């Protein structure tokens, strides 16, 4: 029997205990040994909960116990998770985490420390919840050269966008509903401003390059400015609006960004709705592939953590290689990234068309009956810098979504 500990008995931590207890036999068969949760670290007590007898408040008790081989870090946030994880790895205990903030900020260092101490630092649950995207990129698609990652990486915002499109409802109303349903993070800014998706695309980009992509260099725009009218324009050009974490290699450079994007209604990722996540990869042999499922929630996320525990148990005394190293990967400035833009403009096409054409070049005019005093133009492919320069000449612009 392999003894493990769980740091943090919140939603995911309690899910880890539940997954291990519910699927005991399957897990033991696949790991080659049974797995038992010996300790749960939490500052709280859980009187009346069967876990209470395993609760400890002092991390040192766990770190000093040679029986503990693997730790599930489900605390979230940088500290004290960072300090506890480092200490655990230095003690030769593998750590499996759902903590995307910590992985994005210190993942490379923690993987190096794990390698130096014959243990592993794994984080399948940090991106896409229960969807096995990390292992797919690290272990399954090793014969592929991936050149495009498009991820719907945040369930809350995908729920909001899906509902706004279906109901024609305003952003604020659906956000409130998402919070009542418990989807949004404690601080909804992390979801709606795109910060959560930014950490996740930074992690996937780091795997893509094998070097550390600092999340702070990724341009990030959330969904707070999207209105019901935007969906009507999108529909008029056969598109859906999704918050996309994009990481792409083109002939102009290597780019990453998080922003609302227009995706063709018939593309696989356009069918990822509600609270679900989806990651669409493009690679040179396999072509397009889509990984879809529950990107959040207690049991799906906990299942990914426990899957990592099983990997660690299979490799006790050894180390699973780091997915990327500490070398900083500098991405190309987004100014050079080429794409189309759907631009909403105040006024009528007869008065504005010439001005828009002079600024953007060839454009397609998009008009919807729901908007009498405005219209939109779909530009041809142009770089972000070219777009910015052109947009400066048109103060009547109401909004823009990339395609
Ligand atoms: N708030 C996140 C989401 C949780 O909505 O996807 C999972 O990381």
Distance CA 17, CA 72 (A): 10
Length of the chain counted residue by residue: 403
What does the alpha-carbon distance between residue 91 and residue 349 come to, in Å, rounded to a whole number?
Answer: 68
State the pLDDT at residue 344.
97
Tokens of 301: 């996320």
Residues that are catalytic? 200
Q: Which pLDDT does position 185 carry in this prediction?
A: 64
Give the residue, out of 12, 76, 123, 129, with the most ligand 1 atoms within 8 A of its beta carbon, to mutate for a pocket test.
129
pLDDT at 178: 85
| Closest among 360, 149, 105, 184 to 257, alpha carbons compared | 149
Q: Residue 186: what pLDDT?
A: 61
Pocket of ligand 1 (CB under 6 A): 129, 154-156, 183, 185, 191, 196, 295-296
CA of 347 to the centre of ligand 1 (A): 39
* pLDDT in the model for residue 248: 98
* Pocket perturbation via mutation, ligand 1, pick of 155, 184, 274 by most ligand atoms within 8 A of CB: 155
Give the nearest ligand 1 atom to 190 CA.
1
SS3 track for the chain: CEEEEEECCCHHHHHHHHHHHHCHHHHHHHHCCCEEEEEEECCCCCCCCHHHHHEECCHHHHHCCCCEEEEEECCCCCCCHHHHHHHHHHCCCEEEECCHHHHHHHHHHHHHHHHHCCCCEECHHHCCCCCCHHHHHHHHCCCCCEEEEEEECCHHHHHHHHHHHHHCCCHHHHHHHHHHCCCCCCCCHHHHCCHHHHHHHHHHHHHHHCEECCHHHCEECCCCCCCHHHHHHHHHCCEEEEEEEEEEEECCEEEEEEEEEEEECCCHHHHCCCCEEEEEEEECCCEEEEEEEECCCHHHHHHHHHHHHHHHHHCCCCCCCCCCEEEECCCCCHHHCEECEEEEEECCHHHHHHHHHHHHCCEEEECCCCCCCEEEEEECCEEHHHHHHHHCCCCCEEEEEEC
User: Given this model, what pLDDT does residue 47 score?
Assistant: 96
pLDDT tens digits for the chain (403 residues)?
A: 999 999 999 999 999 999 999 999 999 999 999 999 999 999 999 999 999 999 999 999 999 999 999 999 999 999 999 999 999 999 999 999 999 999 999 999 999 999 999 999 999 999 999 999 999 999 999 999 999 999 999 999 999 999 999 999 999 999 988 888 877 666 789 999 999 999 999 999 999 999 999 999 999 999 999 999 999 999 999 999 999 999 999 999 999 999 999 999 999 999 999 999 999 999 999 999 999 999 999 999 999 999 999 999 999 999 999 999 999 999 999 999 999 999 999 999 888 899 999 999 999 999 999 888 999 999 999 999 999 999 999 999 999 999 9
pLDDT attached to residue 378: 98
What residues have CB less than 8 Å from 57, skipping those under 6 apart? 41, 42, 43
Residue appearing with tokens 């709280």: 44
Does residue 80 have a cis bond before it (omega within 30 degrees)?
A: yes
For 136, other C-beta atoms within 10 Å of its C-beta total 17
Ligand 1 center from residue 260 Cα (angstroms): 16
CA-closest residue to ligand 1 atom 7? 296
Atom of ligand 1 minimally distant from the CA of 157: 5
Domain annotation for the chain: domains and CATH numbers: 2-129+298-314 (3.40.50.720), 134-294 (3.30.360.10), 334-402 (3.30.70.1150)
Q: What distance in Å separates the CA atoms of residue 201 and residue 35, rounded to the nearest whole number?
A: 32
| pTM: predicted TM-score of the whole model, two decimal places | 0.97
The Å distance, Cα 163 to ligand 1 centre, comes to 17
Among 283, 233, 199, 246, which residue's Cα sits nearest to residue 384?
A: 246
Q: How far apart are the first and last CA of the chain?
A: 52
């Amino acid at each position: 029997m392999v003894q493990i500990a769980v740091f943090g008995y919140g939603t995911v931590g309690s899910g880890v205990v539940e997954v291990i207890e519910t699927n005991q036999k399957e897990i033991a068969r696949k790991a080659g040994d049974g797995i038992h949760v010996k300790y749960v670290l939490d500052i709280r007590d859980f009187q009346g909960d069967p876990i209470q007898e395993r609760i400890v408040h002092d991390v040192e008790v766990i770190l000093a116990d040679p029986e503990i081989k693997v730790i599930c870090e489900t605390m979230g946030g940088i500290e004290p998770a960072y300090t506890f994880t480092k200490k655990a790895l230095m003690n030769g205990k593998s750590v499996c985490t759902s903590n995307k903030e910590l992985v994005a900020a210190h993942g490379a260092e923690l993987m190096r420390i794990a390698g130096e101490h014959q243990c592993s630092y794994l984080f399948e649950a940090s991106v896409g919840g229960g969807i096995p995207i990390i292992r797919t990129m690290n272990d399954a698609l090793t014969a592929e050269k991936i050149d495009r990652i498009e991820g719907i990486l945040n369930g809350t915002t995908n729920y909001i966008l899906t509902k706004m499109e279906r109901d024609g409802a305003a952003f604020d109303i659906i956000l409130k509903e998402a919070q009542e349903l418990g989807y949004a993070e404690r601080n909804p800014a992390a979801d709606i401003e795109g910060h959560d998706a930014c950490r996740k695309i930074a992690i996937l980009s780091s795997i893509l390059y094998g070097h550390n992509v600092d999340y702070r260099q990724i341009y990030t725009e959330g969904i707070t400015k999207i209105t019901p009218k935007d969906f009507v324009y999108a529909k008029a050009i056969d598109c859906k609006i999704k918050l996309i974490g994009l990481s792409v290699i083109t002939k102009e450079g290597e780019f990453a960004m998080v922003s609302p994007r227009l995706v063709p209604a018939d593309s696989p990722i356009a069918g990822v709705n509600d609270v679900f996540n989806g990651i669409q990869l493009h690679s040179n042999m396999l072509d397009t592939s889509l990984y879809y499922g529950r990107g959040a929630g207690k049991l799906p996320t906990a299942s990914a953590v426990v899957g990592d525990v099983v990997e660690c148990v299979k490799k006790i005394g050894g180390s699973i290689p780091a997915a990327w190293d500490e070398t900083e990967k500098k991405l190309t400035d987004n100014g050079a990234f080429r794409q189309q833009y759907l631009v909403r403009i105040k006024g009528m096409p007869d008065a504005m068309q010439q001005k828009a054409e002079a600024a953007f070049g060839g454009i397609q005019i998009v008009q919807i009956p729901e908007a009498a005093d405005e219209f939109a133009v779909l530009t041809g492919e142009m770089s972000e810098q070219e777009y910015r320069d052109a947009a400066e000449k048109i103060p009547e612009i109401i909004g823009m979504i990339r395609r």
